[in-house]
């Protein structure tokens, strides 16, 4: 079992003050995990209460025990805020590995419905599409 170790009363006051000033919900959650752990709450109970994995809780606690609040805050800054996942690198560059598929989220492009896509195996699909557009145009004119 691992618990956060608050060194003295001054450190406890610093932790409480940081919790009160926390505006980011992730930062607040991390500080509360450290505080409750220092009060003897088990990681499995914190896991249920905060809906975070035990490994993540242990990482927060170890980070706090190593250097205190500053290291917990630095681990928050390394997290990619759009996905909530760690970037793995401080530079934010790509690892060069390809997953074999491209998603709209990673490229920033929308993959909504596109009129230019041909989604039919029918070889005459484009001809039929043009005829349909012609008939729609005639219907609008009233002919």
Please name the residue that has the structure tokens 């009129």: 115
Question: How much is the pTM?
Answer: 0.49
Average pLDDT over residues 102-118: 58
For residue 125, tell me if it sits in a domain: no
With respect to residue 63, please indicate whether it lies within any of the assigned structural domains: yes
**What range defines the domain where residue 66 resides?**
9-86
Is the pLDDT at 125 greater than 80? The verdict is no
80, part of any domain = yes
For residue 115, is pLDDT > 80? Answer: no
Distance from C-alpha of 4 to C-alpha of 16, rounded to nearest angstrom: 14
pLDDT of res. 112: 64
Q: Among 41, 31, 32, which Cα is nearest to 3's? A: 41
133 part of a folded domain:
no
- Asked whether residue 23 is domain-assigned, the answer is yes
Burial of 115 (0-12, 13-18, 19+ CB in 10 A): exposed
Distance CA 62, CA 121 (A): 57
Percent of the chain with pLDDT over 90: 9
What would the two tokens of residue 10 be? 């001054």
Higher local confidence (pLDDT), 72 or 37: 37
Residue 68 maps to a domain: yes
The C-alpha atoms of residue 44 and residue 52 are separated, in whole angstroms, by 10
Number of domains in the chain: 1
Q: Interhelix angle for 25-38 vs 9-21, to 10°?
A: 150
Per the model's pLDDT, the better-predicted residue between 101 and 34 turns out to be: 34
Question: Which pLDDT belongs to residue 55?
Answer: 92
Residue 86's beta-bridge partner residues? 79
Instruction: Write out pLDDT tens, residues 41-94.
Output: 998 999 999 999 999 999 888 888 887 666 556 655 565 454 555 544 444 444
Q: Do the domain assignments include residue 103?
A: no
What's the pLDDT band for 124 if we cut at 50, 70, 90?
A: confident
Is 30:60 a contact under the CB 8 Å cutoff?
yes
Helix (H, G, I), strand (E, B) or coil at 82: coil
In a domain, 16, yes or no: yes
pLDDT at 128: 83
* pLDDT exceeds 80 at position 13: yes
Round the average pLDDT of the chain to a whole number and report it: 74
Burial class (CB in 10 A: 0-12, 13-18, 19+), 89: exposed
């Amino acid at each position: 079992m691992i618990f956060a170790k608050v060194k003295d009363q001054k450190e406890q006051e610093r932790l409480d003050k940081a919790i009160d000033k926390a505006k980011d919900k992730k930062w607040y959650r991390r500080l509360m995990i450290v505080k409750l752990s220092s009060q003897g709450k088990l990681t499995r109970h914190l896991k249920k209460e905060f809906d975070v994995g035990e490994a993540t809780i242990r990482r927060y606690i170890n980070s706090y025990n190593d250097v205190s609040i500053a290291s917990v805050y630095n681990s928050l800054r390394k997290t990619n805020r759009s996905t909530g996942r760690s970037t793995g690198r401080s530079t934010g560059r790509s690892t060069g590995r390809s997953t074999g598929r491209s998603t709209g989220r990673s490229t920033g492009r929308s993959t909504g419905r596109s009129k230019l896509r041909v989604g039919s195996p029918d070889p005459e699909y484009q001809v039929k599409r043009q005829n349909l557009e012609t008939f729609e145009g005639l219907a609008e004119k009233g002919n």
